[in-house]
Structure 1
């Protein structure tokens, strides 16, 4: 059909974005079921059944199709007809592809949200063409969400979107339950625009791509009916944007952190939602730049299979990092980023000139998500330093996704491939501890956490009789880590730096307690200042890093007898670095004094710690 490859698309105009949607959606046509109600993609299994996974894939295309229809864009007629057929058959209790009766906490409750959005913004293309019988079936199937329980977290917004869709069409809706769910969502609000994802939940990408994204849609659609809540959603989203902008580099990439990262360009969906709601946290051109550069960066990555289907993974196809709920079609939640297609051609978002990032400070302290974001503008490198959390969960690779000491937008991070040894564990940006049996434990949750400027402190217990107090002094390209360890057992300790992508140009510099690697990508290194015995490069097993299939991790090693210990290291990471790292360059940024059985460290912002060795 003459569509340019996505990587060659300049992504500057509304027409360009429409073209990208078609390039993503049209290769899916052969994978719709005979009745059109399921998207049957091969490749992997997930926690939900195959039929539910197929329904999930079907619904997630609607996140892009509904805005395209609402904005008057050209829709491939074959795609439109198969979607209308899918709705007809999927909601018909007598059809073999009926989507079924849903239960409490059912995955299909999540997938109803895009259909609710379609009813609200694109009824002329996705509702009116249906027969009266199908309309009733469609309503009945969606209305099950008003009879079922949803998880007490961002899922409440899915109920909201369905009922807003009903309301906009003049259909019966659960007014009282809608209000109750909106009130419950208020209780997850923390500060500075942040929500927690449920009681004691984490602050991650679900805040922008679920809470604020849906909140801004609600504001845009229900401002007249619920003006005070709409205004509150907008004010909080603006507050949040002042912190969230620090998660993005100038070239468009964002910091990989937390779960559900296979949704990829959904990371930047919020910037499009601001346009949809006519809310401007920054200059209009800056919002547009954030949005478009993010999409451009993603479509330069090898994330699309040869048949045109998006893969599960992050920077490349990778099932190791996937969640239990990531079916092959799950990745199309990324189409939430296509909401601006609903805007008319003359909207300010499509008319203004794209601008670079707003001027940002080198350090952003973000208390609610427990992070300090550092920015090296010269190298366009951003990293999130992390105290960790007081709670944990059972999601896949929780320690790797929420408890590393630092997350870099350039170096990415690793998840473990198996439990045996440092190569399988792939412990970048972590302190890993073993009882000499080659089975390592890392931080999973914390007893205490605090942030004071660029000084982050956490207390954690990998065993009941091992207590570790970790101090991070944030910075780029160097940062400091200090651990005070009180242990009743003998331990092997391994401290990992940033994972460096492997290629044939790797140059290694190694000394007794210092090791670094340099490739065409950049440099990564670690220096033992106190307590470590040796340094080495750990060659992590393949496909453990989210960004690069093969990586090596500069690592310090030590053996700890029962008692009290202090470990101090300086960690280095700099993309684009093309000369050797000097192992003592950290001294230009940090002051560390060790004498009289005490260590004193001072940060660039003047924060300091003093602690005894014994």
Structure 2
């Protein structure tokens, strides 16, 4: 490896003026226009423009610099045109786990780093990194995919072979071929063009996974049709129809079976780009439908980000991180006067900085598999180290012209400016997906509640029932803590099952959203006699939970709040008694969390943990416990407040206990809650 790139790349207009500067640790860092970038492991924002971008200082030129910042790290592993994008394996479940998987891992590195390189090459085809001409490198490596003597050689798919990861990466390659054919495609000889077409079409004209994967086939077939090659157009239109069938409304697609960021960094990225590159010319009716499905993005998705643009840790492949902002950037393709482009860019740039300025993002010069830093509970076995460059999808927003209002509008805070006023919580329910998005102006945080209904036992994809999906809610302020410590849980229930193991809930059934109450039923996977009715009520400073335990077996049950990482010294713990209710408060110097038992619980404690939080090695979570024994005709209600504030802010008694009283009907089907501020709330579970 030539350079172990681990620097803060300067965001400068003079992006081509780089030279290597030696440092005592042996790491080469950039020199720009004679000044050395800060010696740190984060992206350095140079010459921020707070006139154009008053909240982040980030402009389109900084986006280009950020793309190069990440690309520099990848090219730290390239000494010559022959060197593949081969990166160090992160310990854990990620692949390659055998030599046979190496070519696929290198293909991921090649095709995914192209998402960083292609937008830069579109504006400067002479780009050089570490003395390597970037355009020459990618053309050479694409040619090596066709060379049977090469380490990176990819066989053509045989008719007997199903779909593999190669389909994914060739789909990504087709996106870049569409974007910069003058750089990647046109310079190739006819012989290489024909060979590449034959290899890629062998994957595109074949089976796929019934999810967003269909777009990989679509892009492959579409690109080569555009270049005059014969393709299976019947299959192309079949996959277009099936992609449209995933749409459920309000900007959301179902990725079969989940709702997660794949709706955004897959469906709502591929569809508008395909429409722009190809669909509007060849299949205008399909393009029109995809763009109709894209339009609602601006009305709900921006609310899933915090006031300062932070994204929520939620769902699989979270290691792709800020790739989730790409639909916000692609709104610039529409030039729609009703879109608040200044807010779209403020969110997108804020999410970029959320990660690029976190010192844990990079290791060995490239991003880790995790959220901020390495975090094994958030890693799936289908990922390799090069997979992280799927976050490069964000930079496909650079295909939006510099003259677009997405880039030229002045940043603003959108709904947080006037619509989301302090003193209330605001919820947006998505009818098709049953997703609930909630914003909390008092701390500027966002929250999401979404689908999870997959068994772990016998699962081929166990991550679908894991903490990635099974939390009661997910917050931009409080990334989820893993269930690695027996008997300790964060933002979920756990029940001690018949094997003596603490088992989290994962089999949720959405019931309704009514009067600002989000209703679900849940059953324990290993024992159908353990079942609850759940009701979530967002409040200005947190959540009121009113849950009915319908279990017919005796159980030990616990419920956990969000967790706090240890960031600035010890986590402070405080117990109070307010209005005859037990209150536990914890504070880490940034936020404080409070949990209040209103009804149904035996005990409460703040529990320390190690190695289970994505932000720090040490963390603390508040858990409440109950030893439940069923009593015929006597419903058992758990009423719990899960609250938060910024550290240092004082709690009033009414903020800690904003409930005046709780009254349950004889059969437990209704629960009336009297609130100090918002009047009376009636929870209607219905019959058992």
Deviates more, 1:129-138 or 1:493-502: 129-138
Q: Aligned pair 1:497/2:561, yes or no?
A: yes
Rounded to whole Å, the distance in 2 between the matches of 1:88 and 1:33 is: 18
Q: 1:532 aligns with which of 589, 597, 601?
A: 601
**1:299-333 deviation line (CA, Å, top 9, x unaligned):** 22234335421111102222232111121111100
Aligned positions of 1:306-345 closer than 5 A: 306-345=363-402
Deviates more, 1:315-324 or 1:256-265: 315-324
Structure 1 pair 390/417, CA: closer, same or farther in 2 (3 Å)? closer
Match of 2:259 in 1: 203
**1:171-192 deviation line (CA, Å, top 9, x unaligned):** 3333221111000112111122
Aligned positions of 1:82-481 closer than 5 A: 82-102=137-157, 103-198=161-256, 201-221=257-277, 222-276=279-333, 278=335, 282-358=339-415, 359-361=418-420, 362-386=426-450, 388-389=452-453, 394-396=461-463, 398-417=465-484, 420-422=486-488, 427-435=489-497, 439-462=501-524, 463-481=527-545
Q: Identify unmatched segments of 5+ residues in structure 2.
A: 1-17, 19-30, 49-56, 421-425
Rounded to whole Å, the distance in 2 between the matches of 1:84 and 1:550 is: 46
Deviates more, 1:587-596 or 1:325-334: 587-596
Match of 2:658 in 1: 588
Q: CA deviation at 1:339?
A: 0.9
Is this contact kept in 1: 2:304–2:438, CA < 8 A?
Answer: no
Is this contact kept in 1: 2:523–2:531, CA < 8 A?
Answer: yes
Deviates more, 1:4-13 or 1:517-526: 4-13
Rounded to whole Å, the distance in 2 between the matches of 1:510 and 1:115 is: 57
Is this contact kept in 1: 2:573–2:585, CA < 8 A?
Answer: yes
Q: Secondary structure, in 3 states, of the residue corresponding to 1:320?
A: helix
Q: Aligned pair 1:506/2:571, yes or no?
A: yes
Is this contact kept in 2: 1:91–1:98, CA < 8 A?
Answer: yes
RMSD: 2.9
Is this contact kept in 2: 1:449–1:458, CA < 8 A?
Answer: yes
TM-score (norm 2): 0.81
Q: CA deviation at 1:92?
A: 2.4
TM-score (norm 1): 0.91
Rounded to whole Å, the distance in 2 between the matches of 1:435 and 1:581 is: 37
Structure 1 pair 180/279, CA: closer, same or farther in 2 (3 Å)? farther
Is this contact kept in 1: 2:321–2:391, CA < 8 A?
Answer: yes
Match of 1:13 in 2: 59
Is this contact kept in 1: 2:672–2:681, CA < 8 A?
Answer: no
Q: 2:673 aligns with which of 593, 598, 601?
A: 601
Structure 1 pair 334/69, CA: closer, same or farther in 2 (3 Å)? same
Q: CA deviation at 1:93?
A: 3.2
Is this contact kept in 2: 1:120–1:164, CA < 8 A?
Answer: no
**1:197-244 deviation line (CA, Å, top 9, x unaligned):** 13xx11110001111111110221222332222222222112133111
